[in-house]
Amino acid sequence: MNYFLHISVLLEIYILLALSANQKVGLSGLLTLAQAVFYGVGAYVTAILITKLGFSYWLAMPAALLTCVLVAFLFSFIAGKVRDLYFSLATLAIQIIFFSIVYNWISLTNGPYGIAGISSPEIFGLKINSPGSFALFGAVWVLFVVLFYIWFLKTPLCRMIQATRDDQIAVLSLGKNPNYYKGVSIIISAVIAGIAGTLYATYVTFIDPSSFTLDESILILSIVLIGGAGGIIGPISGALIYILLPELLKFMKMPDSVAANMRMILFGLLLVLIVRFKPKGIFGKYLIK
Amino acid sequence: MFDTPIQILLNSVVSGLILSLVSIGFTYIFRVTRVFHLAHGGVYIAGAFSFWWIFTRTSSWIAAIVFAMAIVAVLIYSIEKIVYLPLNRKQSDQSISLIASMGLYAVVVNILALLFGNDNKTIFDSISGTFELGNIIFTKVQMLQVIVGIFAIAGFLIYLKFTKSNLAMQSVSDNETISKAFGINTENIRVRVFIAGSVLACIAAILKTIEVGIDPHAGMGITLTAAVVAILVSRLNVLLIIAFTVVLTLLQNSVEWFLDAQWRDGITFLILLLVILFRTEGIISYNLRKDRT
């Protein structure tokens, strides 16, 4: 039972990450290779504030999300300067710079040794530290974000974000500033990824740089592209495929050492097949050209 | 007193020369086909493992080298025909080929990891011995790397010169549609540039395997550094690519020596970020264009 609940928590974290990446990729058309940066900023700021300054989760989380917003301004600046492949490459560069900083700034992040002893959140004196309570806590966050998107996708702001994705010049001709809409989209995406980071840090109670690498960013992007970008169902189904695939391999009696590589082979293959034959992804709304 | 800087310079020139084989391939592929070919790292690793596998069984250098190059050529030919070319025909965005390339990289690397394991593979009876000048050390493997590296680059230049490929590649790089209209077989040029670039990467992989061995995940770092060079140079000029690669390697080695090994990627990609933001056309490209007008 505990194992099932553990898988549920992981699934919730990846659903949040996929929805956050979908905000950039699906709604804004910004192919990011640095979603793990916001995930990492959320996790690290929470961990540092809790372990070094004695903050509670409910104080550390808003601070972490605020830091994510500040980092999002850098991405907004980049999105205003470059587009398409060069935006992706700039985010790739930021991802690697972020990893270098987290890895080397030992006095703050404890470098490769990581930060241990991150205390769990508390609600009305109840500690959320069992897999069951955390699965419920994560589910509340997922529900909150999904409800947000059900509302947000119908708003004029979201339509302007999508219009900026589809035809920037048309948006300019309407007297609107496309960079503003890209910026808003990046900030929303950063906040949701930051929430996933705060959840991850307080759930595993230990973080190190290896969870926030370029590979993780590529993985988050792949989840969105395979599930399908632009809507809500696509990213959620992408996260489901990613989390449940190893369980399926285990069910087929595949040893763990083989299953890890096999999962990446199948995921890579799916990515190639999706790009080649179904560019909208399995449940996507936005056609990646 | 100057021993350390000279040693760093010497090592940087040698490793920069090896890396430039990967950079030349990556830059030519990127500029001609517009594919940001991250799977170049997978091809590099496939070449290294093919070489290691045959060499450890036969002890024959020639058999291992020929086998590795054949595997690499077949692999890249299949990738181009099955994945990249259909995307090019659909006039897909560059970001799409980047995604496809990431998927291909994951597939190739993890298949190799399944077949050979994730640990580092070395060649035990590889060339050993050093030349010493005072405190400065130059290994026999480095000597081999310099000689083979120079021959490989010379071979590539001769190939470009005598097959008139360079002109055709420049043309496809500038405008694929007009090149087609002028009778250039652009699909053939694409295949040629993919194979030539991959063979160069394979030579680099073999030279590196002889020195330090190989593991399935070693390709990405090398490819990303080559990608940085491709963005910085942004011209199809072999000598410029070599010069930039050596300077970048020197910078990385200096950072490693004076700061920390983990900062080298951070500094490298900070340069990439600044170039993308403030000189998207590359460092030298604009001046060259200005000179021509």
* Minimal CA separation from B83 to chain A, in Å: 7
Query: Which residues 13-52 of chain A have a CB within 8 Å of chain B?
Result: 31
The per-residue pLDDT for range A114-138, each reduced to its tens digit, is 888 888 888 887 888 888 888 899 9
A289 contacts B96? CB cut-off 8 A = yes
The per-residue pLDDT for range A243-257, each reduced to its tens digit, is 888 777 777 777 777
Q: Which residues of A touch B109 (CB under 8 A)?
A: 264
**How sure is the predictor about B79, in pLDDT bands with cuts at 50, 70 and 90?**
very high
Q: Looking at the partner chain, which of A93, A275, A288 has a beta carbon nearest the beta carbon of B103?
A: A275
* Minimal CA separation from B120 to chain A, in Å: 16
The per-residue pLDDT for range A201-217, each reduced to its tens digit, is 999 888 888 888 888 88
Q: Which residues of A touch B266 (CB under 8 A)?
A: 96-97, 99-101, 104
A264 contacts B106? CB cut-off 8 A = yes
* Minimal CA separation from A264 to chain B, in Å: 6
Closest to B218 measured CA to CA, from B139, B112, B140, B83: B112
Closest to B55 measured CA to CA, from B205, B267, B195: B205
* Minimal CA separation from B261 to chain A, in Å: 10
| Predicted local distance difference test score (pLDDT) of residue B125 | 64
Q: Is the pLDDT of residue B279 over 80?
A: no
Q: Looking at the partner chain, which of A90, A96, A262 has a beta carbon nearest the beta carbon of B277?
A: A90
| Predicted local distance difference test score (pLDDT) of residue A39 | 94
Q: Which residues of B touch A276 (CB under 8 A)?
A: 83, 86-87, 100
Q: Which residues of B touch A262 (CB under 8 A)?
A: 110, 114
Q: Is the pLDDT of residue B63 over 50?
A: yes
| Predicted local distance difference test score (pLDDT) of residue B255 | 84
Average pLDDT over residues B235-262: 84
Partner A contacted by B113 (CB < 8 A): yes
Q: Which residues of B touch A246 (CB under 8 A)?
A: none
Q: Looking at the partner chain, which of A265, A271, A289 has a beta carbon nearest the beta carbon of B102?
A: A271
| Predicted local distance difference test score (pLDDT) of residue A7 | 86
**How sure is the predictor about B282, in pLDDT bands with cuts at 50, 70 and 90?**
low
**How sure is the predictor about B293, in pLDDT bands with cuts at 50, 70 and 90?**
very low
| Predicted local distance difference test score (pLDDT) of residue B280 | 65
Q: Is the pLDDT of residue B288 over 70?
A: no
| Predicted local distance difference test score (pLDDT) of residue B185 | 83
Q: Which residue of A has its CA nearest to B39?
A: A268
| Predicted local distance difference test score (pLDDT) of residue B290 | 45
**How sure is the predictor about A185, in pLDDT bands with cuts at 50, 70 and 90?**
very high
How far is residue B106's CA from residue B86's CA, in Å, rounded to a whole number?
20
Q: Is the pLDDT of residue A144 over 60?
A: yes
Q: Which helix (H) or strand (E) holds A273?
A: helix A256-277
- CATH number of domain containing B245: 1.10.3470
Beta-strand pair A115-116/A206-207: antiparallel
B99 contacts A225? CB cut-off 8 A = yes
B96 contacts A275? CB cut-off 8 A = yes
A104 contacts B98? CB cut-off 8 A = no
* Minimal CA separation from B40 to chain A, in Å: 15
A225 contacts B92? CB cut-off 8 A = no
Sign of CA dihedral A203, A205, A207, A211: negative
Q: Which residues of A touch B272 (CB under 8 A)?
A: 89, 93
Q: Which residue of A has its CA nearest to B274?
A: A90
Partner A contacted by B78 (CB < 8 A): no
Number of A/B CB contacts below 8 angstroms equals: 123
* Minimal CA separation from B33 to chain A, in Å: 14
Closest to A32 measured CA to CA, from A75, A96, A74: A75
Percent of chain B with pLDDT over 90: 25
B104 touches A268 (CB < 8 A): yes
Q: Looking at the partner chain, which of A96, A100, A268 has a beta carbon nearest the beta carbon of B107?
A: A268
The per-residue pLDDT for range A72-114, each reduced to its tens digit, is 999 888 888 887 788 888 898 898 899 888 888 888 888 888 8
Partner A contacted by B141 (CB < 8 A): no
Q: Is the pLDDT of residue B285 over 60?
A: no
**How sure is the predictor about A227, in pLDDT bands with cuts at 50, 70 and 90?**
confident
Mean residue pLDDT across chain A: 87
Q: Is the pLDDT of residue A147 over 60?
A: yes
From A69-78, A225-234, A249-258, B39-48, the region with the lowest mean pLDDT: A249-258
Q: Is the pLDDT of residue B289 over 70?
A: no
- Per the structure, the complete domain to which residue B271 belongs is given by 3-292
How far is residue A137's CA from residue B177's CA, in Å, rounded to a whole number?
56
**How sure is the predictor about A15, in pLDDT bands with cuts at 50, 70 and 90?**
very high
Partner B contacted by A288 (CB < 8 A): yes
**How sure is the predictor about A262, in pLDDT bands with cuts at 50, 70 and 90?**
confident
Partner B contacted by A71 (CB < 8 A): no
The per-residue pLDDT for range B136-188, each reduced to its tens digit, is 787 888 888 889 999 999 998 888 888 777 788 888 888 888 888 888 888 88
Q: Which residue of B has its CA nearest to A268?
A: B103
Which among A81, A165, A275, A287 is the top mutation candidate for probing chain B, defined by the most B β-carbons within 10 Å of its own β-carbon? A275
Average pLDDT over residues B209-231: 85
What count of residues does chain B have? 293
**How sure is the predictor about B199, in pLDDT bands with cuts at 50, 70 and 90?**
very high
pTM here is: 0.85
B96 contacts A288? CB cut-off 8 A = yes
Q: Which residues of B touch A100 (CB under 8 A)?
A: 262-263, 265-267, 269
**How sure is the predictor about B108, in pLDDT bands with cuts at 50, 70 and 90?**
very high
Partner A contacted by B107 (CB < 8 A): yes
HEC assignment per residue over chain B: CCHHHHHHHHHHHHHHHHHHHHHHHHHHHHHHHCCCCCCHHHHHHHHHHHHHHHHHHHCCHHHHHHHHHHHHHHHHHHHHHHHHHHHHHCCCCHHHHHHHHHHHHHHHHHHHHHHHCCCCECCCCCCCCEEEECCEEEEHHHHHHHHHHHHHHHHHHHHHHHCCHHHHHHHHHHCHHHHHHCCCCHHHHHHHHHHHHHHHHHHHHHHHHHHHCECCCCHHHHHHHHHHHHHHHCCCCHHHHHHHHHHHHHHHHHHHHHCCCCHHHHHHHHHHHHHHHHCCCCCCHHHHHHHHC
ipTM: 0.82
Range ranked top by mean pLDDT from A56-65, A205-214, B258-267: A56-65
Partner A contacted by B277 (CB < 8 A): yes
Closest to B236 measured CA to CA, from B26, B82, B28: B28
Percent of chain A with pLDDT over 90: 29
Mean residue pLDDT across chain B: 84
When divided into structural domains, chain B yields a total of 1
The per-residue pLDDT for range A29-57, each reduced to its tens digit, is 888 888 999 999 999 999 999 998 888 88
| Predicted local distance difference test score (pLDDT) of residue A284 | 65
Q: Looking at the partner chain, which of A81, A85, A101 has a beta carbon nearest the beta carbon of B266?
A: A101
